[in-house]
């Protein structure tokens, strides 16, 4: 599996889990479908970005840092559009980015470069 694909899969799964946890908040439960789709999309976008970064740069610390930043940025955008719950949205989003950053650096096929 390629690194961007790993990023997409892990990002989508964690994004979906992230969205599903909204079920525990009765106030937003009726919008659960939209939240899950939005959260999954956010995870996929983060996964693609982090996956391509991992394909380009083979460094675990850099990958984790990049994942952390992308996760935090996307989560901040969501919180900003929602106009609240900054801490509750940014912290999990950042952690998701960190996990995707780690997973894409640690797993997945690296493209071999031919010596000419």
Which of the stretches 1-9, 12-20, 29-37, 51-59 binds other proteins when contact is defined by CB under 8 A?
Answer: 12-20
DSSP 107: S
- Supply 68's token pair: 């952390």
Q: Which is nearer to other proteins, 58 or 88 (CB)?
A: 88
Provide φ and ψ at 84, rounded to 5°.
Answer: 175, -175
Indicate which single residue of 29, 58, 106, 109 sits in contact with other proteins (rule: CB under 8 A).
Answer: 106
Q: How far is the CB of 10 from other proteins (least distance, A)?
A: 9
Buried/exposed code over 24-41 (b: 16+ C-beta within 10 A; e: otherwise)? eeeeeeeeeeebbebbbb
- Interface with other proteins in residues 85-104 (CB under 8 A): 88, 91-92, 95-96, 98-99, 102-103
Q: How far is the CB of 116 from other proteins (least distance, A)?
A: 28
Q: What is the C-alpha to C-alpha distance for residues 85 and 106, in angstroms, rounded to an integer?
A: 32
Contact call for residues 76 and 86 (beta carbons, < 8 A): yes
Which residues sit at the interface with other proteins, rule CB under 8 A?
Answer: 14, 17-18, 21, 24-25, 88, 91-92, 95-96, 98-99, 102-103, 106
């Amino acid at each position: 599996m390629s690194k961007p694909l790993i990023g997409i899969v892990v990002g989508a799964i964690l994004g979906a889990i992230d969205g599903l946890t909204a079920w525990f908040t009765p106030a937003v439960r009726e919008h659960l479908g939209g939240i899950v789709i939005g959260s999954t999309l956010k995870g996929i976008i983060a996964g693609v970005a982090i996956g391509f970064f991992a394909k380009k740069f083979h460094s675990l610390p850099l990958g984790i840092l990049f994942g952390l930043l992308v996760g935090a940025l996307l989560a901040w955008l969501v919180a900003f559009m929602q106009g609240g719950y900054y801490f509750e949205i940014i912290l999990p989003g950042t952690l998701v980015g960190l996990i995707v950053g780690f997973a894409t650096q640690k797993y997945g096929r690296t493209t071999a470069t031919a010596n000419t």
